[in-house]
């Protein structure tokens, strides 16, 4: 956990609960760093590059939080520099709740989950949006090739802080592509066994003992 993440989220009320449950001593030193925005490192950049979805939280004018799923081809969420993320926002159900929330509060939280590896990354930042025609040079690298969804806007997020979580309680899950890759050796072994079984059947049908020459 970065010190900036702790500074933003370990409010007095949170610290009170940490004290009550005897975890405050472990977390107290984490908020002692400088009060400046975090910079993404190679580890975060590589992790984000492989993501095909994430969850985006915002807060509306009523004070209620809202969480929205965002998906696309792997790498559609991109690290533009060490403190900026960007993605093409594809057309969905046209409720525009997140878009409207950002008009009154630009603070967002991103939750990125890698189920097979049981890893998760949380990012706090400030988001701003514009149409592709307003930011043509920025939008161009964010438009995925060969993806047919309609791009309604470009979203840029200035990173404020991030945190990696531990893997406990994360149940591994695989996408169809990941499952196919994982089962590749099993399928190859099954094919070899079926071939061997067919050979043995032919040998028995011909009256030959398996593995012997007549």
Q: For residue 180, is it within any domain? A: yes
Q: For residue 211, is it within any domain? A: no
Q: For residue 144, is it within any domain? A: yes
Q: What confidence score (pLDDT) does residue 211 get? A: 57
Q: For residue 212, is it within any domain? A: no
Total number of domains in the chain: 3
Same domain as 137, residue 81: yes
In this structure, what CATH number is given to the domain that contains residue 127? Answer: 2.30.110.10
Same domain as 53, residue 134: yes
Same domain as 150, residue 50: yes
**Residue 23: CB partners within 8 Å, gap ≥ 6?**
none
Task: Classify strands 107-114 and 53-59 as parallel, antiparallel or unpaired.
Answer: antiparallel
- Model pTM score: 0.80
Same domain as 91, residue 29: no
Same domain as 153, residue 68: yes
Q: For residue 210, is it within any domain? A: no
Per-10-residue mean pLDDT for the chain, 214 residues long?
93 96 90 91 96 96 96 93 95 92 97 91 96 84 86 95 87 76 83 87 77 54
Same domain as 149, residue 59: yes
Task: Classify strands 84-90 and 65-71 as parallel, antiparallel or unpaired.
Answer: unpaired
Domain of residue 21, residue span: 1-36
Same domain as 150, residue 113: yes
Q: For residue 77, is it within any domain? A: yes
Q: What confidence score (pLDDT) does residue 92 get? A: 84
Same domain as 193, residue 135: no
Q: For residue 199, is it within any domain? A: yes
Same domain as 65, residue 5: no
Same domain as 43, residue 116: yes
Q: For residue 213, is it within any domain? A: no
Same domain as 45, residue 85: yes
Same domain as 104, residue 72: yes
Q: What's the chain look like in SS3?
A: CCHHHHHHHCCHHHHHHHHHCCCHHHHHHHHCCCCCCCCCCHHHHHHHHCCCEEEEEEECCCCCEEEEEEECCCCCCEEEECCEEEEEEECCCCCCHHHHHHHHCCEEEEEEEECCCCEEEEEEEEEEEECCCCCHHHHHHHCCCCCCCCEEEEEEEEEEEEEEECCCCCCCCCCHHHHHHHHHHHHHHHHHHHHHHHHHHHHHHCCCCCCCCC
């Amino acid at each position: 956990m970065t010190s900036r993440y702790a500074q933003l989220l370990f409010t007095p009320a949170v610290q009170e609960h940490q004290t009550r449950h005897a975890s405050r001593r472990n977390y107290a030193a984490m908020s002692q760093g400088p009060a400046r925005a975090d910079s993404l490192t190679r580890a975060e950049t590589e992790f984000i590059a492989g993501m095909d979805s994430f969850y985006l939280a915002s807060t509306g004018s009523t004070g209620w939080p809202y969480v929205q799923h965002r998906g696309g081809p792997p790498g559609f969420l991109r690290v533009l520099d060490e403190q900026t993320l960007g993605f093409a926002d594809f057309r969905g159900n046209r409720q525009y709740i997140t878009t409207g929330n950002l008009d009154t509060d630009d603070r967002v939280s991103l939750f990125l989950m890698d189920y097979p590896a049981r890893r998760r990354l949380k990012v706090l930042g400030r988001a701003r949006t514009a149409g592709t025609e307003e930011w043509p040079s920025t939008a161009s690298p964010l438009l995925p090739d060969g993806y047919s969804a309609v791009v309604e806007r470009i979203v840029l997020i200035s990173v404020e802080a991030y945190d990696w979580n531990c893997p406990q309680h994360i149940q591994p899950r695989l996408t169809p592509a990941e499952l196919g890759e994982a089962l590749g050796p099993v399928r190859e072994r099954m094919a070899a066994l079926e071939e061997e079984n067919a050979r043995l059947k032919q040998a028995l049908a011909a009256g030959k003992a398996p593995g012997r020459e007549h």
